[in-house]
Structure 1
Amino acid sequence: MKDLPEPKIIETCQRIAIISAAIGTAIFAFYIFSKIGETLFFGLMYIAAAGLINGIYLIVLGVSCFIYKAHWRKIVTTMVFMLANIPLSIIYSLIAFKL
């Protein structure tokens, strides 16, 4: 059986993870420097939306592991990279709620 080319979903998910973290960091930094209380609500809504979007793409990557077996290591690495946003959002939330 011929190996399939590397799936484009890998690059897409890497970009989503980077953009997600960058937007979350920007919201967090805005709150830290402005202390505007409504930013907390906006940040929580962003965490929910980003979690949903990242979760959907994480599932797609999981399915891709079975379709693109030759590229499973890179797919799993991308999944771990995406999951790194979870502790980042937890840390930001804990800091924001303690201020």
Structure 2
Amino acid sequence: MAARTRGGADSRCPACRAPVITQLVGQRAALNVTADLTPLTPAQQTELREPNRLIWCLLTNSLGQHRLTWATGHPPDCARGDHVTEHRCPPAEPTTLF
């Protein structure tokens, strides 16, 4: 029987094909989070943070496995891991019907 990994799955968004990680974050009332794998600068974190769009700390262990944690209390230039944001697909390119 193969062991199951505890972390999330690195994959691609089915709509826009961007690289994302999907994972349950938290111990008791876990949130199902899909986050971009692109690290953010402190300026980008300030620009992208919204009430319903959180910033997450993406930790990577020595085996290269990713784990999302709350970024609350971490400085924007955190040395523990990269800060990433919840994934949102970019706006679709307009197309013509005819």
Q: Shared fold by TM > 0.5?
A: no
Report the structure, 1 or 2, having the larger strand content: 2
Q: Larger relative CO (CA 8 A, sep 6+): 1 or 2?
A: 1
TM-score (norm 1): 0.24
TM-score (norm 2): 0.24
Report the structure, 1 or 2, having the larger helix content: 1
